A and B are shown apart, each in its own frame.
Chain A
């Protein structure tokens, strides 16, 4: 695993160097290599397919624009992931604000469309749990991840869904290892509790 990572790092460094020298096809190679991972990270953090598409695009464009600020101290994938996470976080915040405003709007359409929101953002109310129970474990898991706070969601997504190392996560989230361990413990505990409630037992 670590050999693969080292190999990938060296390969990325070469591709980035080639891209910096003006080779656009090198950047395209990086897009091909990382688009799926960045898209999935964005998808799990934002919880919305369209938002994830836009975030993934924006992340690559931002990386293209800001390549001069990339000093090569961290791996390219780490740098790109931190860009993706930042954009995902911003997107999530604005979506939450929008939904909050819509919830208080007098024009809120009470036509059963709310169910769509519950699918993405399960609440701890019984009705949300009932909805969760009717789904498969993975759907329930996704719902539980979506119910986490952004901080916990990020750590779960990076560590358990994408197998990032503790060092990489600390670098991406700019937190200390102790903080990360604590967050991860609490995030996993919340997911476990959520699953227990949704499934009756794990």
Chain B
């Protein structure tokens, strides 16, 4: 080792933290190098001075001050964060499970509530009274007094009450659907009342709504019951003998697609994109049915979109300038 390198090791040599070989080398060098001998003497003296510096007594209150702060700390409850999330190995799995449950519940609630939510836009009284299209949207003449309205409504609803509920056969549901051309044309006036018996009591002629509501109560309940979309679909499907179903058949779209199962997502998306709301569905093995509520003006757009998915066999005939919401069935 050279002089400078050995000089740098003098401090460690003084502390006796050099290897035995280095130690011997430094010893040999010190015998021959006067400047290094002087330097190590100075270093020894400096370290001696440094070690001789006495410790200062801390203030007498220091310990008490520390203990006061520590006692305050130990008496305070652990923070909410610590209580909620520590120890992690216990609480983290539980919280993760709870989060999953909340998400799943929230998802199902959102789906159910979203389907039940009544639409805020109501057709105006003028729209309701305008003449219906000649075939499927044909409207019955307005009743002369309330009593006369309740009769056809009641007649329509009778078969739709408990009887269909008692025979739920989901797999067979789509196959028993009556085809649109075979359905009896139902007066649109009556179906409209069947659809929205309690939506606009102030806009509509008060007696019409009031007369119809009590009789449609059960039917409406059956349609909007939170039991699930399939149930709604079934209700509508069975409605070859119900006013609601008859109306839907009159206003339905028939689609011919290659793979009905695969087209479900596309059809639902088409409905959503045209501002429609799915109020019920029934997806069977061979055929599918979707019950939607949509603005009449959007129906052509919907038909156009559906045309991209498959071949539109039947579409509703709309009078020019028709507005407002209507129920529609899409079948494929």
In B4-18, the 8 Å CB interface with A consists of 8-12, 15, 17
A1 within 8 A of B: no
Given contacts A65-B73, A166-B17, contact A156 B50 (CB under 8 A): yes
| A residues apposed to B, CB below 8 Å | 24, 27-28, 31-32, 35-37, 39-40, 43, 49, 53, 56-57, 60-61, 64-65, 137-138, 141-142, 145, 156, 159-161, 163, 166, 177, 181-182, 184-185, 188-189, 191-192, 195-196, 202
Contacting residues, chain B, for A40 (C-beta < 8 A):
55-56, 58
Q: Mark B48-64, 1 if CB is under 8 A from A, else 0.
A: 01111101111100110
Interface assignment of B43: CB less than 8 Å from any CB of chain A = yes
Q: Are B70 and A24 in contact (CB under 8 A)?
A: yes
For A31, the chain B residues whose CB sits under 8 A away are 63, 66-67
Bound: A37/B55 CA distance, A = 8
Please tell me if the beta carbons of B50 and A161 are within 8 angstroms of each other in the complex: yes
**Are A195 and B55 neighbours in the complex by a CB distance under 8 Å?**
no
Mark each residue of chain B from 30 to 48: 1 if its CB lies under 8 Å from any CB of chain A, else 0: 0000000000001101110
CA distance A40 to B58 in the complex (A): 8
Assembled-state Cα–Cα distance A189/B70 (Å):
42
Considering only CB atoms, which chain B residue lies closest to A156 in the complex?
A: B50
Complex CA gap A25/B66 in Å reads 13
Contacts of B9 in A (CB 8 A): 181, 185
Inter-chain CA distance A43–B69, complex, in Å, is 21
- B59 x A188 contact (CB < 8 A): no
Contact assessment for A191 and B12 in the assembled complex, using a CB-CB cutoff below 8 Å? no
Query: Could you name 14 residue pairs across A and B whose Cβ atoms are closer than 8 Å?
Result: A35-B58, A37-B55, A39-B56, A39-B58, A53-B58, A61-B70, A64-B70, A64-B73, A145-B50, A156-B50, A166-B15, A184-B11, A192-B42, A192-B43
What residues make up the interface of B, taking CB atoms closer than 8 Å to A?
Answer: 8-12, 15, 17, 42-43, 45-47, 49-53, 55-59, 62-63, 65-67, 69-71, 73-74
Evaluate whether A202 and B73 lie within 8 angstroms (CB atoms) in the complex, with A31-B63, A181-B12, A185-B10 already known.
no
Is the contact region of chain A dominated by helix, strand, or loop, or is it mixed?
Answer: helix
B51–A161 contact, CB under 8 A? yes
Pairwise interchain contact A57-B51, C-beta atoms closer than 8 A: no
Q: Which of B46, B56, B70 is A60 in contact with, Cβ under 8 Å?
A: B70
Once bound together, how far apart are the Cα atoms of A137 and B45, in whole Å? Answer: 12
> Which chain A residue has the least Cβ–Cβ distance from B49?
A141
A142 to B59, CA, bound (A): 20
- In contact, B56 and A43 (Cβ under 8 angstroms): yes
Q: Is the interface of B mostly helix, strand, loop or mixed?
A: helix
B66 and A60 form a contact (CB under 8 A): yes
* A24-B71, A195-B46, A202-B42 known; A185-B12 Cβ under 8 A: yes
Measured between beta carbons, the chain B residues less than 8 angstroms from A37 are 55
The residue in chain B whose Cβ has the minimal distance to the Cβ of A32 is B63
With contacts A27-B70, A195-B46 taken as known, whether A163 is within 8 angstroms of B63 at the C-beta atoms is: no
A76 → chain B closest CB, angstroms:
16
A46 and B69 CA atoms in complex are apart in Å by 22
Q: Chain A residues with Cβ under 8 A from B47's Cβ?
A: 160, 188
Contact call A61/B73, Cβ cutoff below 8 A: yes
Q: What is the distance, in angstroms, from B79's C-beta to the closest C-beta of chain A?
A: 12
Choose among B17, B45, B69 the residue that contacts A202 (Cβ–Cβ < 8 A). Answer: B45
Q: Are the CB atoms of B62 and A137 closer together than 8 Å? A: no
Expressed in whole angstroms, the Cα–Cα distance for A11 and B52 within the complex equals 28
Chain A residues within 8 Å of B66, by CB: 31, 35, 56-57, 60-61
* Contact (A57, B49) CB under 8 Å given A166-B17, A184-B11: no
Q: How far is the CA of A57 from the CA of B66 in the complex (A)?
A: 5
- The CA of A181 and the CA of B11, in the complex, are separated in Å by 7
- A188: B residues at CB distance < 8 A: 11, 43, 46-47, 50
